[in-house]
Every structure is written in C-alpha cells, then in structure tokens.
Amino acid sequence: MNNSSLEYQQKTLLQGLNWQDWLYAAIMFGGAIFAYDKYAHYMDIYETVFLFGAAALSSYLGWRWKALSKLVLGVGVISLVSISLYNGSQARATQEFLLKFLISSQSAIMWMNVLFVLAMVTYWFALYKRSDFTGKVASALTWSAVLFGFVGLMVRWYESYLIAPDVGHIPISNLYEVFVLFCLITALLYLHYEQKLNTRQLGGFVLLVINAAVGFILWYTFDRQANGIQPLVPALQSYWMKIHVPANFIGYGSFSLAAMVASAYLLSSKGVLTSRLPSLDVLDDLMYKAIAVGFAFFTIATILGAMWAAEAWGGYWSWDPKETWALIVWLNYAAWLHLRMVKGLRGPMLAWWALIGLIVTTFAFLGVNMFLSGLHSYGTL
C-alpha cells in the first residue's frame, strides 16, 4: 500500500524544490536587500513593499516555471554588465562597443525587434516543414528576444536616472515603453503555454500580433523619434504606475494571445493547417485559459486604475474615455466568459468573438489615445 500511495502522492511546491531553486530565491532576495540597503531613503513604503514583493514574486514564478528563473538571472546579469559599462555616463551608450551594438537600452530593444521577426519566420517555417528542430530554434529565438527586451527595459530604467535623478522612472510610462512591455508579456505568456502544452505550432500565430507591435515600435522610433526618455508628468509620478501598468498589459497580452489562438482555431476548423495545428479541443481550452488570465488581470488593473484615479484625478471613476473603454472591454470578456461557463457555449462563435475582442481591446489601448481626448492622454500618436 505504501508503494502505491507514493505513486499518486502529489508533491507540494516546496517539497519539489531543489538547492538551485533555493539559491535562486536567495539571489532574488539578496538583490532586493542590496537595493534596499543602497536606496532605501529614496523609496517610500509602497516602493519598499514592491521591491520585496518583486523578489517574492520572481522567486515564486521561477519555482513554478524553471525556464523563467533562467531568464530572470540572464536579464539580471546582462543588465548589470551593461550598467557597469555605462559607468555613470549616458554618452557611453554610443561610445562603448558592447553598449553601442548590443546592450545599451536602444540596441537591446532593437535586437528584441530583430529576434522577434526572425522567430516568427522560423516558427512558420517549422510549421510548414513540420520540423521539430526548427521549432526549437524558433523558441530559442523568442526566448532571446524576451531576454534582450527585458535587458533593454532594465537598462532604460537606469539610463533615465543618468539623464537627471529627478527624471528617472520605471520605463512603462509612454507608448514606446509599453509596446515593448506588451511584446515581452505576450511572448512570455505564449512561451509558458508552449512549454505546458508541448506544442510549438502556435508560435507563428502569436508572433504575428507581437510583430505588429514591433512594427509599431519601429515606426514610432524611426518616423516619430518617440523612443527618447521623457520626464514624467505630475499625474504619473506615483507608485501606482508600477502595478497598474503591468497588470493591464498582462490583460492586453492575454487577450491578444487568445485572439491569435482563436485565429488558429478558425483556420483549423475550416480545414486549413488542420493537420499541423493542435486539436481544436486544445486550441479551445487554451483560448479560454488565456481569456481567463487576461480577464482576472484586467479586472485587477482596472481596479488599481480606479484607486489611482481616486488619488490623482479626484475620483475613482470619472467616465473618462479610457475608463469607459476599459469597462467596455471588461463587459465584453465578462460576457464571453459567461456564455462559455454558464451556457457551456463552445466552438467557432467564441473564437470569432475572441478575435473581434482584440479589436475592442486595441481600441481601448490605442484608439482612445488616438481619437478621443481625456485625462489618460499619456501616449499620443
């Protein structure tokens, strides 16, 4: 009996940890303590909580998803190398060879763009050739893109303080920066499911939406020169930004992922690529999971936004266009989930809906900034 019980006994998360996991967590908290020791007097209580919260969160996520811990360490090491090369002078971004061509914030983000494009092409090639090896290469390219993207953001964060100490801020404050964040979060969500479902066939689809964002970044950089670091307007100078924006982009990223899976679903159900793609059941399930994650985080983000608005704009809800469109997006996915969970609806109809949902989401994210004016005008085109 003991033998058989061992077979089904599920290990808890803590039981399943090995010494590398503990070392990883120690490094996370070591880093947090180091930062706290060095910069505590610049931080308020919320930022202190976020700092240690970030250490706890990255430990937990790294334990749950081992590949992520490698990414976190990689981003940490390369960012530190880059920062040490800057040596306190922003001008070195264009003088130091390694910075100029690889890991200054602008170069790293450019590498991210290039790698995402390559990854997409490779994913599609792998899908076409049914080649497992090519698929693995595509995954590796995507991971590298994410690595460079995060290094780019980290270094940009540091760089903002080099411009002037009062200019320094987390790089999620304008459209350029959040587009990078969007690419990274969407890619990470995808990579998570790729590993979990052990399927690489969806990469080409998801990378489509990521590369649309890459296209935007490139246009924004080269046509608008909007890649510079701008100081924060007073309304954005708040610890709320550090949680509101990432939560929102987990939402946007998940919704985009769901829409891309939906497009794969629709193609497959019409007989296109059916033999190459995962089964409809798997696609349907993935679409649901992505929307569920997105909905949960979008809810949190909207609530955090309301709480922030209560501090910055004088009311938790002002029917500002951004707020109203967030509500519309929320209602849209709430209805989607309702129909699926309560009415048990499945099939192409939900897939179409998820795809159209992306249009609504995009309008809430971009369209509001472009066409409607309001309080939330932090990124304009």
Partner 1 sequence: MRFAVSLLSVLGIASVVGTVLKQNEPYENYIIKFGQFWFGLFEHLGLYDVYHSGWFLLILLFLVVSTSLCIYRNSPLMLKEWRTFKEHATEKSLKAFSHQETYPASSGLEDLKKQLTHFLTAKGFQYKFRTQADGSELIAAKAGTHQRWGYIFTHVAMVIILFGGLLDGNLPFKVQEMLGYKRIETLDIPESQVPAVSRLSISNPSFRANMTLPEGTSDNVAFVRVRDGYLVQELPFRVALKDFRIEHYATGQPKSFESDLVIIDPDLKEPITKTISVNHPLTYKGIAIYQSDFQDGGTKLNFKVWNLFKPNAEPQALNGAIFQKGVLGEGESALKVEYNDFRKFNIINMSPDGKGKPHNVGPNITYKLRDNRGQAIEYVTYMQPMQIDGRHYFLSGMRETVSDDFKYLRIPVDSDFSLNGFMSFRATMMDATKYPEIADKIAANSLDVKKDPAIKKQFKDSVVQLLNVFAQGGYSHVAQIIEKSVPEKERETVARTYIKMISVAAYEAYNMSLAANHKPLLAASADTETLLRDSLNAFSDMFFYGTPYYLQLEQFEHKEASGLQLTKSPGQKWVYLGSVLLVLGIFAMMYIRERRIWLTIKPDAKQVHFAMASNRKNLDFEKEFNLYREQLRNVIS
Q: Smallest distance from the beta carbon of 132 to partner 1, in angstroms? A: 23
Q: Which residues contact 316 (CB under 8 A, 6 or more apart)?
A: 306, 307, 309, 310
Q: Smallest distance from the beta carbon of 312 to partner 1, in angstroms? A: 5
Q: What is the DSSP string of 192-231?
A: HHHHHHT--TTHHHHHHHHHHHHHHHHHHHHTT-TTS--P
Q: How far is CA 50 from CA 35, 47, 56, 115, 173, in A?
A: 12, 5, 10, 31, 17
Q: Closer CB to partner 1, residue 131 or residue 199?
A: 199
Q: Interface residues for partner 1 in 343-372 (CB under 8 A)?
A: 368, 372
Q: Smallest distance from the beta carbon of 134 to partner 1, in angstroms? A: 27
Q: What is the DSSP string of 121-177?
A: HHHHHHHHHT-HHHHHHHHHHHHHHHHHHHHHHHHHHHHHHHH-TTT---S-SSHHH
Residue 130, Cβ neighbours under 10 Å: how many?
A: 11
Q: Under rule CB under 8 A, how many of the chain's residues touch partner 1?
A: 57
CB-CB contact of 309 with 315 (8 Å)? yes
Q: Closer CB to partner 1, residue 147 or residue 172?
A: 172
Work out the angle at residue 360's Cα, subtended by the Cα atoms of residues 184 and 246, and round it to the nearest 5 degrees.
30
Phi-psi category of residue 225: left, alpha or beta, with phi > 0 → left and psi -120 to 50 → alpha: left
Q: Closer CB to partner 1, residue 149 or residue 253?
A: 253
Binding mask 119-158 for partner 1 (x = CB under 8 A): ----------------------------------------
Q: Smallest distance from the beta carbon of 164 to partner 1, in angstroms? A: 6
Task: For residue 155, give the amino acid letter.
Answer: V
* Cα gap 53→72, rounded to integer Å: 15
Q: Smallest distance from the beta carbon of 166 to partner 1, in angstroms? A: 7
CB-CB contact of 180 with 152 (8 Å)? yes
Q: Closer CB to partner 1, residue 70 or residue 192?
A: 192
Report if residue 381 touches partner 1, rule: CB under 8 A.
no
Q: Interface residues for partner 1 in 290-319 (CB under 8 A)?
A: 292, 295-296, 299-300, 303, 306-307, 310-317, 319
User: Measured in whole angstroms, how far is the alpha carbon of residue 16 from the centre of its chain?
Assistant: 27
Q: Interface residues for partner 1 in 235-294 (CB under 8 A)?
A: 235, 237-238, 281-282, 285, 288, 292
One residue of 97, 198, 234, 275 binding partner 1 per CB under 8 A: 234
Q: Interface residues for partner 1 in 161-180 (CB under 8 A)?
A: 164, 166-167
Q: Closer CB to partner 1, residue 22 or residue 222?
A: 222
Q: Closer CB to partner 1, residue 27 or residue 351?
A: 351
One residue of 88, 224, 270, 359 binding partner 1 per CB under 8 A: 224
The gap between the terminal CA atoms of the chain, to the nearest Å, is: 67
For partner 1, the binding residues (CB under 8 A) are 1, 4-5, 7-10, 164, 166-167, 224-225, 228, 230-231, 233-235, 237-238, 281-282, 285, 288, 292, 295-296, 299-300, 303, 306-307, 310-317, 319, 321, 324-325, 327-328, 331-332, 335, 337-338, 341-342, 368, 372-374
